[in-house]
Amino acid sequence: MTGSLHIPHGCYELGVTSNFSFLRGASHPEELVVEAATLGLSGLAITDRNSLAGVVRGHMAAKEAGLGYAAGCRLVFMDGMPDILVWPQDRKAYGNLCELLTLGKRRAPKGECHLALQDLLEKGDGLLMAILPDHHLDRALVSCIKSLRAAFPHHLHVALSRHYGPNDQRRMARIADLASTHDVPLTALGDILYHCPERRFLQDIVTCIREHETLRTIGKRLEPNAERHLRAPDDMVRLFKGYEGALAQAASLFNRISFSLDELRYQYPDDPAFEELGAKPVPSQQALEQLTEIGLKKRYPQGAPQKVLDAIAHETRLIKKLEYAPYFLTVYDIVRFARSQDILCQGRGSAANSAVCYCLGITEVDPGRIDLLFERFISEERNEPPDIDVDFEHERREEVIQYIYDKYGRDKAGLAATVITYRARSAIREVGKVFGLSDDAISAIAGTKWGSWSREIDAQDARRAGFDPKDKHLKQMLDLAQQIIGFPRHLSQHVGGFVITRDRLSSLIPIENAAMENRTVVEWDKDDLESLGMLKIDVLALGMLTCIRKAFELLETCYGRKETLSSLGDKDTSTYDMICRADTIGVFQIESRAQMSMLPRLKPRTYYDLVIEVAIVRPGPIQGDMVHPYLRRRQGKEKVSYPKKELEAVLHKTLGVPLFQEQAMHIAIVAANFEPGEADKLRRAMATFRRVGTIGSFEKKMVEGMVANGYEREFAEHCFRQIEGFGDYGFPESHAASFALLVYVSCWLKCHYPDVFCAAILNSQPMGFYAPAQLIRDAREHGVDMRAVDINCSDWNSTLEMGARPQPVSPQHRDMAGTMKNAHAVRLGLRLVKGFSEEDANRLMEHRGRGYDSVRDLWMRSGLTRHTIEKLAEADCFRSIGLDRRDALWAAKALDPLSSAERLPLFAAADAHDLQKEPDIHLPPMPLGEHVINDYQSLSFSLKAHPMAFLRSQLATEGYIQNISLPTLAVNRRVMVSGLVLVRQRPGSAKGVVFETIEDETGVANIIVWPKTFEKYRTIVLGSRCVSVYGKLQSEDGVIHIVADRLRDLTPLMMQISDMADLMGGLANADEVRRTTGDMRQKIKPASCLVQSVKDIPKARHDHEGMTRVSAAEKAMPKGRNFH
């Protein structure tokens, strides 16, 4: 064996495929970089397949590891040419490469890249390249060498690699021969697929996934051995024995690459011209200062307080120093556009709550109200651009997006990508398939995961699914599934992260087609862009803004009151009274059950209380066990104290308990001696770099650091767990502050104008936590006159009608009698009718004239199809012409299936005459109960009665009480309640406890089902739509729960109301069992979205009927929704 080798030029690895070549590489870029540094390589180049998606991560990791690094790409062609590795020599060449990839991607379907050698010949200037001969050393290779040699004589190389194949020596000799024949230098590279040999298993797995094969069927498409890993220098020397020149050539090639991704550091757009400033380009900083000045006058007509002036002076100085003015101006410009279009918007996030942003109108949160330290978000040291997210009305965000495209051009603005990675479930699913497990076995194992995003797989899951976790095969599968979690699967479009550039975007980042037509997406995600310091702005959609805008409009037209987000102040006592009573159904953020049960305990009385309320019910504070200490202190049960004096400044606003992400970070800095930049790294490590496994060292550093500084270990550990919680769903104070404003405004609207609020929120659906049924019910309890959908009275949207009949206000809301100023009735809109489109509604409204007088009249004049009119009949919309649901349906059924407009007029007239002569038919009248059920089916609510009302007499004899009487009963008493199931939740932080909310005709009851009871009654908890509960009544600070001992399925009883009791509607938006879409970050959702079990009413008598219901039911269910 050769002794230690002397390598004068250093060893470099130039061809590395990371897992951003989706399903080809088996290591993260970071892993590759770290391994290369450990092995003692001098430099590494990541070359993914027609992609630069992974290069930024590699770049950042290499910076940290102090490793030489080059960005590169492996070009794979469609025309049978061998693969070619390219490395841009300089910034210009890099631009060429991006353009080349963009070209290939833009002409291919999403996720693909179609390139031909000709493209490279045209755009390959400045690229160092190496041809990677494939198995066939044939004519394609020779012609490829010839044409590239002619075009780029000094840039071309031939790559020499060795993978322990059957003919290595001969093959290498032939390649060397070929290279020297054509006078092209030979360069050694490893063509690496993973960082260490142990990754071969995973490499095999991803190959199988890619090829849609199992391990048993994939055969020779797998690599025969585990040799495509990174090698130490002496290993490389041995590998390329006899070709030392090629190794030296690799080094010199690497050293010719002078380009670094750092050069891309964003240059902001050109100096903007603003009309307010005379429509001439003004230097950015000057423009910003002038605009701030103008805004300041508008905000504070009587002169600004000194505190604000100081803040502005300070911020402006900092902005100037860091040259961030263009960024603020860009956001300003977008916000200004939105405002000019009457699109409601509000900024949030790090820099958004600064005084400058307030003056610019980016946010409405008065900096005088709340003091947030600007430096906390713009740190000089980090020199990273600030981060402002702007929320827009969800229905109109597209207009803003189009504006950005128009203003900056599609070639300079693009949407950031989101890297979709493997989660526990998808990992089990795909790896299970590769192992040849049957679909149901896979479902069974995957189904034991409660969250689709959970990151860990443990053997318990398998045991729960009835498998033997000691089974070797299964163990391997679970192990590999665990490893693949976090691997990127594909790129998707970010919800609204825009990147805006001065140069052509496609010369900075390759752009590919998005799934949506006419959309493109860049290859890098938010973090990548942030790492490189490129300008990005999040343009997000928020349903509540839509609702508030609509409410303001109604307020103006119906009550003549003009309001804005900032005009309502923040000190309205009756609004806070309402919040304290947890009367918050429908309002922003604080409407969930967890939030509602927090309200009476927290008793918010000021704006800042709302900020805390918004932030406290989150995984961070919950995992850090910070909620109860805070509540105790707030309620005066515990003294406010600080772990150490030095933290007082950080924690005094929150009574000594860290609640916000900023505070947690600050503690790391103050108490554990983190550098500010380090603390930020910690935050990002939690959010994005979790996979690399640096968390452990952070944990140690933080906890030990704090202990060394004299903190209690327990407190230190809580703080760290809290940060971990933030990693999943970071919720900083700056976001909470912006959200709190919307909370306040929506509460104010609901408090004073419940009619306006109800109409606005119904018109903004889908959004929020509750379904129309609960919103309508809540409005009625507040004395709002609700009127049914009708062909002659309703518009598409719900509207306000004059002349409301006075309605009784429920006893629990009596206090609000004087505050509520509602004088209008809400006429429900046609949008609530399932399956009825806006287009049809417009037709109906357009031809309505002085009203329709019959079903036939509606059909003839509006030209709607019979099918559409049936939908209206099913929703019982013909009452104004004296037809009930059944009569209307009977009449509608007789219409020609086509719309009248599609028929020949002559025959139409003849037919009409004929058919009107038909004999009178007496249909059996529809009982009220059936009407109610049909209402639920077609509208998902009923104004006629609550379904439970029909069971009341029977329930009363069995001893059930009405939910409304719960507050009057003694605590710890056993009670029996009943109701329709609105929401089922199983929060991850609650250790398997299921929370269920049920509703009867008088009100809701909150049920807690402990795991033991759940196991016993899981069929009922998960499966029934109408239940009764026997249990102990508990009350904490006015929040009443019933801890279930026994449950009973009342659905069969429910069915007695109607022969066809598909009670589909009315389930709240938040029901986790019904919800089909994932990504409810702060919630854990039950295993398999037991959608079906909820949707299907238990076994009808005959299967034929059962099947009908299933399909009808599926159509009836609204889609699930996400929350922020």
Partner 1 sequence: MQYRISQQRILSVAFTHLPTDRIARIKWGKSWILDGRPETPPIAVTGLAKNAIRIVALEDHASRQGIQQGQSLSDARALVPGLEYWEHDEDADKALLHAIAAWCERYTPLVALSGEDGLFMDITGCTHLFGGEACLVAGLAARLNAQGLSIRLSIADTPGAAWAMARYGTQRVIDEGAGRGAISGLAVAALRLDPATVTSLNRVGLKTIGCLANLPRAPLAARFGFPVLRRLDQALGREDEVISPLMPVAELTSEKRFADPIVYEDDIKRTLGILADNLTPLLERRGLGARECRVKLFRVDGDIATLSVQTANPLRDAGQIARLFEERLAALHDGFDAGFGFDVIRLEVCRTDPFEPGQGSLTEDRQSGYGYDALIDRLGARLGTDRIRHFILADTHIPERSFGTAPVVQDKARDRTLCASSPGQDVITRPLILLQSPELVETISQVPEDPPIRFRWRKVFYDVARSEGPERIACEWWQDGRGSHTRDYFRVEDGQGYRFWMFRNGLYGRETTQPKWYMHGLFA
Backbone angles phi, psi at 582, to 5 degrees: 60, 35
Alpha helices in 390-542 (DSSP H): 397-408, 424-434, 439-447, 459-464, 472-484, 526-531
Parallel/antiparallel/unpaired status of strands 974-985 and 994-999: antiparallel
Q: Taking CB under 8 A as the rule, does residue 1120 contact partner 1?
A: no
d(CA 86, CA 155): 10
**Contacting residue, 310, 468, 1059, 1079, with partner 1 by CB under 8 A:** 1059
d(CA 915, CA 923): 18
CB of 44 to partner 1, least distance (A): 22
Rank residues 161 and 584 by Cβ distance to partner 1 and give the closer one.
161
Q: Taking CB under 8 A as the rule, does residue 35 contact partner 1?
A: no
Q: Taking CB under 8 A as the rule, does residue 1048 contact partner 1?
A: no
Q: Taking CB under 8 A as the rule, does residue 1093 contact partner 1?
A: yes
Q: Taking CB under 8 A as the rule, does residue 135 contact partner 1?
A: yes
Show the tokens assigned to 562: 């003009």
Task: Give residues with Cβ within 8 angstroms of 186, minimum separation 6.
Answer: 157, 158, 160, 175, 176, 179, 180, 243, 245, 246, 249
**Residue 366's Cα: distance from chain center in Å?**
28
Please say whether the dihedral angle defined by the alpha carbons of residues 799, 805, 808 and 809, taken in this order, is positive or negative. Answer: positive
Rank residues 204 and 395 by Cβ distance to partner 1 and give the closer one.
204
Q: Which stretch binds partner 1 (CB under 8 A): 219-227, 402-410, 740-748, 792-800?
A: 219-227
Distances (CA, A) of 767 to 549, 695, 751, 761, 1074: 14, 36, 20, 8, 16
Q: Taking CB under 8 A as the rule, does residue 468 contact partner 1?
A: no
Using CB under 8 A as the binding criterion, the count of chain residues that bind partner 1 stands at: 79
Over 277-316, what HEC string results? HCCCECCHHHHHHHHHHHHHHHHCCCCCCHHHHHHHHHHH
Q: Taking CB under 8 A as the rule, does residue 337 contact partner 1?
A: no
Task: Give residues with Cβ within 8 angstroms of 677, minimum separation 6.
Answer: 379, 381, 382
* The one-letter amino acid at 13: E
Q: 2: buried, middle or exposed (CB in 10 Å: 19+, 13-18, 0-12)?
A: exposed
Using an 8 Å Cβ cutoff, are 756 and 798 in contact?
no
Helix axes 733-752, 573-580, angle to 10 degrees: 100
Per CB under 8 A, contacts with partner 1 among 534-593 are none
Rank residues 412 and 425 by Cβ distance to partner 1 and give the closer one.
425
Q: b/e for 269-308, b at 16 or more Cβ within 10 A? A: bebbebeeeeeeebebbebbbebbeebbeebbeeebeeeb
Rank residues 176 and 969 by Cβ distance to partner 1 and give the closer one.
176
Q: Taking CB under 8 A as the rule, does residue 882 contact partner 1?
A: no
Q: Which stretch binds partner 1 (CB under 8 A): 325-333, 387-395, 468-476, 749-757?
A: 468-476
Q: b/e for 366-378, b at 16 or more Cβ within 10 A? A: bbebbebebebbb
Per CB under 8 A, contacts with partner 1 among 437-456 are 439-440, 443-444, 447
Per CB under 8 A, contacts with partner 1 among 931-950 are 934
Q: Taking CB under 8 A as the rule, does residue 225 contact partner 1?
A: yes
CB of 1025 to partner 1, least distance (A): 12
CB of 1024 to partner 1, least distance (A): 8
Q: Taking CB under 8 A as the rule, does residue 177 contact partner 1?
A: no
Q: Which stretch binds partner 1 (CB under 8 A): 52-60, 107-115, 167-175, 988-996?
A: 167-175
CB of 205 to partner 1, least distance (A): 9
Q: DSSP string spanning 709-734? A: TT--HHHHHHHHHHHHHHHHS---HH
Q: Taking CB under 8 A as the rule, does residue 1 contact partner 1?
A: yes
Using an 8 Å Cβ cutoff, are 484 and 429 in contact?
no
Q: Taking CB under 8 A as the rule, does residue 165 contact partner 1?
A: yes
Question: Is the omega angle on the peptide bond into residue 269 within 30 degrees of 0, that is, cis?
Answer: no
CB of 792 to partner 1, least distance (A): 22
d(CA 266, CA 257): 21
Per CB under 8 A, contacts with partner 1 among 883-902 are 886, 889-890, 893-894
Q: Which stretch binds partner 1 (CB under 8 A): 130-138, 353-361, 666-674, 775-783?
A: 130-138
CB of 216 to partner 1, least distance (A): 8
d(CA 487, CA 780): 50
CB of 1059 to partner 1, least distance (A): 6
Using an 8 Å Cβ cutoff, are 573 and 426 in contact?
no
Per CB under 8 A, contacts with partner 1 among 809-828 are none
Per CB under 8 A, contacts with partner 1 among 1018-1047 are 1018-1020, 1022-1023
Per CB under 8 A, contacts with partner 1 among 1096-1115 are 1096, 1098-1099, 1102-1108, 1110-1112
Q: Taking CB under 8 A as the rule, does residue 1056 contact partner 1?
A: no
Task: Give residues with Cβ within 8 angstroms of 292, minimum separation 6.
Answer: 312, 316, 356, 359, 360
Q: Taking CB under 8 A as the rule, does residue 984 contact partner 1?
A: no
Q: Taking CB under 8 A as the rule, does residue 909 contact partner 1?
A: no
Q: Taking CB under 8 A as the rule, does residue 910 contact partner 1?
A: no
Rank residues 477 and 585 by Cβ distance to partner 1 and give the closer one.
477
Q: Taking CB under 8 A as the rule, does residue 642 contact partner 1?
A: no
CB of 892 to partner 1, least distance (A): 9
Per CB under 8 A, contacts with partner 1 among 846-875 are 874
Q: Taking CB under 8 A as the rule, does residue 3 contact partner 1?
A: no
CB of 1090 to partner 1, least distance (A): 5
Q: Taking CB under 8 A as the rule, does residue 170 contact partner 1?
A: yes
Residue 874's SS3 state is helix
CA torsion, ordered 195, 201, 203, 209, to nearest 10 deg = -150
Q: Which stretch binds partner 1 (CB under 8 A): 284-292, 545-553, 957-965, 1093-1101?
A: 1093-1101
Q: Which stretch binds partner 1 (CB under 8 A): 77-85, 319-327, 436-444, 617-625?
A: 436-444
Rank residues 298 and 922 by Cβ distance to partner 1 and give the closer one.
922
Q: Which stretch binds partner 1 (CB under 8 A): 406-414, 581-589, 609-617, 922-930?
A: 922-930
Q: b/e for 210-221, b at 16 or more Cβ within 10 A? A: eeebebeebeee
Q: Which stretch binds partner 1 (CB under 8 A): 36-44, 571-579, 690-698, 1016-1024?
A: 1016-1024
Per CB under 8 A, contacts with partner 1 among 1063-1082 are none
Residue 13's SS3 state is strand
Q: 920: buried, middle or exposed (CB in 10 Å: 19+, 13-18, 0-12)?
A: exposed
**Contacting residue, 560, 921, 957, 1119, with partner 1 by CB under 8 A:** 921
Q: Which stretch binds partner 1 (CB under 8 A): 214-222, 678-686, 803-811, 854-862?
A: 214-222
d(CA 743, CA 759): 18
Task: Give residues with Cβ within 8 angstroms of 136, minimum separation 6.
Answer: none
Q: Taking CB under 8 A as the rule, does residue 482 contact partner 1?
A: no
DSSP code at position 124: -
Q: Taking CB under 8 A as the rule, does residue 741 contact partner 1?
A: no
**Contacting residue, 169, 306, 340, 968, with partner 1 by CB under 8 A:** 169
* The one-letter amino acid at 697: S
Distances (CA, A) of 138 to 78, 141, 174, 421: 17, 6, 11, 39
Rank residues 165 and 882 by Cβ distance to partner 1 and give the closer one.
165
Q: Which stretch binds partner 1 (CB under 8 A): 254-262, 898-906, 959-967, 1083-1091?
A: 1083-1091
Rank residues 208 and 312 by Cβ distance to partner 1 and give the closer one.
208
Rank residues 223 and 699 by Cβ distance to partner 1 and give the closer one.
223
